[in-house]
Amino acid sequence: MVDVQLNFINNSNDRNNSQIVIFQRNQTTSYDEIAVAWKVIENCGQGWNHPFVYPMAMFVSASDSWGNYSPLLPATNGQLFNVVENGSGDILQYSGQNAGSLNEIDVYNALASGAMNANVYKDGRLLAIKTGVAPQQKAVFEFKPTIWIGVTSQVTEGQLMNSAIISQINTEISLFGIKSADIIMGGGGPGPGSTAFTFTLQNVVYA
């Protein structure tokens, strides 16, 4: 798949200057588990647009309880990464096409002691995180080529969202086979006549 060029367009009746949050779900976790706010669109007024890219490339890193982060390593489905000790401390290394499934990326804690966190990035922003991975355990990440999008407030890009916020976002958009598209937001509005927000793909160009 190629990188997908997306253009968010606010054609809604929203008067609250709401945030638009975009994220992906890790398919290996429970449906209502917390997720990371991958991208947050703010201050995009009525009739305005916000272009952005959904890249295919992903990167992984490991972090520890001391607030240290490993360098980012490029990652593709089917790959396994190990956190191991060496003379200078802990390192994250690529360990071959040895993931549990061809559709997932695995990060294994091979340390003798000490839990670690596994992080996945896309377009330089945190996409997903698995915290507290104990020694001899692994974090498993699997993503469909879909994004979830919704209207929210008080969400920070790159931070975890709680299940209450996630449960209110029910629009899933498939990007499979798409080269570019507009994401049109409609609905909303003040007072009792307001309707639910909607998100639809238009002007789709297929790869």
Q: How far apart are CA 163 and CA 33, in angstroms?
A: 6
Q: How far apart are CA 18 and CA 68, in angstroms?
A: 34
The two structure tokens encoding residue 112: 């003798």
Domains (range + CATH), the chain: 4-55+144-206 (2.60.40), 58-140 (no CATH)
Residue-wise pLDDT for 106-130, tens only, equals: 999 999 999 999 999 999 999 999 9
- Helix (H) or strand (E) holding 51, with range, is strand 49-54
Tens digit of pLDDT per residue, the chain (207 long)? Answer: 689 999 999 999 998 889 999 999 999 886 666 799 999 999 999 999 999 999 999 999 999 989 999 999 999 999 999 999 988 889 999 999 999 999 999 999 999 999 999 999 999 999 999 999 999 999 999 999 999 999 998 899 999 998 888 888 989 999 999 999 999 999 998 878 789 999 999 999 999
162 contact partners, CB below 8 Å, separation of at least 6: 34
